[in-house]
Amino acid sequence: MPEPLPNFSNSVKFKYVKLGYQYLVNNFLTFLIVPVMAALIIQVLKLGPEEILSIWNSLHFDVLQLLCSSFLIIFIATVYFMSKPRSIYLVDYSCYKAPVTCRVPFSTFMEHSRLILKDNPKSVEFQMRILERSGLGEETCLPPAIHYIPPTPNMETARNEAEVVIFSAIDDLMKRTGLKPKDIDILIVNCSLFSPTPSLSAMVVNKYKLRSNIKSYNLSGMGCSAGLISIDLARDLLQVWPNSCALVVSTEIITPNYYQGSERAMLLPNCLFRMGGAAILLSNKRKDRRRAKYRLMHVVRTHKGADDKAFRCVFQQEDPQGKVGINLSKDLMVIAGEALKSNITTIGPLVLPASEQLLFLFTLIGRKIFNPKWKAYIPDFKQAFEHFCIHAGGRAVIDELQKNLQLSAEHVEASRMTLHKFGNTSSSSLWYELSYIEAKGRMRKGDRIWQIAFGSGFKCNSAVWKCNRTIKTPTDGPWEDCIDRYPVFIPEIVKL
């Protein structure tokens, strides 16, 4: 009986074959230009001094031609630099850290649920099952008004929460950067579900006595991806207004949006959403280039709102008893997957190396021409980014993106640990994740970061940053007293 053939996949190191392919394709121009330049240099060296001098003398330069050529070169260079987009720098950012008095351990959360929903034990049991599988830890925080039995949400307590979260983050940012209120040219505040009058942005202007000519914006109703929408808006404004600073504040106010009914689809946000907020300072000033942490490379926004299912998958409504809450559809993960596909189709050509783009193209052509059943090639985004900040919307969101993008446990570590420590802080969660990476001392000059966020509507937004300098391990921030304990093991189910 003939000996069985060796397992090809084991005998050949495909990993090294792929690395060789990537190196060859990504450096194709270098491999092409270097031999040509070397051949030219060798030919010149073969010529004697007299031959080189005779070739030089044979060239006739006219003064008018020289002037015209110089003018053309200067004109082209001027047009190029004038039309080139301004570089946008992230000088620094700050994340709000709630006091320990706001912490909600599992036992406290479930005790409150049993007392509030004492007439509906099935809803209590449903919340317990969700909490067991949520990926949240024992140190997540809810605002003081939610700690009462029953909760006492009203306009005053909601404003109090907004003031504490937003002002604390801005104060810390000003302390870190030396920013003064008069230096702020653009102000953008995003909060999806709490939109009072005067607006939250007006509240900030009043608190810090900002200039009367400040360009202020207040974004609401745009879900957990609103933080990157704010970054995109700030980028566009900074392209128009030179030598300016933009302050971006991302938060979600929990107090007025804590659902007190018994509809299961509307109870889910109670189990996941927690207090949080972040303040970010952006600048297009050249003098900020040296001290800035990151440079903004790309922002890509995808909106699936034209589809009815996508539009209604995260929907604020009243239940049959007239109690307002957020209804999360069962189709949410499928819709999020479709939005992600559209987003990465756009962002892929901007960030992926040529080797990955060619593999994707060849696979696509093969499926169209030869066999539609060929497995679709998923580009290796690990070739384009060193760090991933996936919106900590829930365990299922992180699991799905890790699977679809073929990421390692380390790549999604920041997202999982942020969800465990702080819960779903909505649009600000991406900044807690970035802070985690910095606190671990992993951020190096030149590293590329991909922030991915999902939001109601339905939207999937991406931002790409490049580290401007090696970030020293911070001694403060939201992780200062616990980073040594992380990462922690998160079981599939935590028995309550």
Residue 491, in any domain of the structure: no
Residues listed for the chain: 496
Contact predicate 427/190, CB 8 Å: yes
Residue 469, in any domain of the structure: yes
Closest-CA residue to 278 (of 432, 101, 443): 432
Residue 160, in any domain of the structure: yes
Please give the model's pTM, rounded to 2 decimal places: 0.86
Return the percentage of the chain with pLDDT > 70, whole number. 90
Q: Which domain holds residue 230?
A: 88-485
Residue 139, in any domain of the structure: yes
- Tell me: pLDDT of 151 over 60: yes
H or E segment at 65? helix 63-83
CATH of the domain at 394: 3.40.47.10
Residue 6, in any domain of the structure: no
CA angle 115, 120, 126 (to 5 degrees): 95
H or E segment at 318? strand 314-318
pLDDT band for 149, please (50, 70, 90 cuts).
Answer: confident
User: Which residues in 263-320 belong to E strands, given as ranges?
Assistant: 277-283, 294-303, 314-318
- Which residues pair with residue 460 across a beta bridge? 302, 454
Backbone φ and ψ for 248, nearest 5 degrees, come out as: -110, 130
Q: How many helices (H) and strands (E) does the chain have?
A: 17, 11
pLDDT of 24 reads 55
pLDDT of 100 reads 94
- Tell me: pLDDT of 7 over 50: no
Could you read off the pLDDT of 194-206 as tens digits, one per residue? Answer: 999 999 999 999 9
Q: Higher model confidence: residue 217 or residue 355?
A: 217
pLDDT of 29 reads 65
Active site residues: 224, 303, 387, 391, 420, 424
Residue 37, in any domain of the structure: no
- The domain total for the chain is 1
Q: Please enumerate in sequence order all residues whose Cβ is within 8 A of that of 362, keeping only pairs 6 or more positions apart, or say none.
A: 377
Residue 60, in any domain of the structure: no
Residue 129, in any domain of the structure: yes
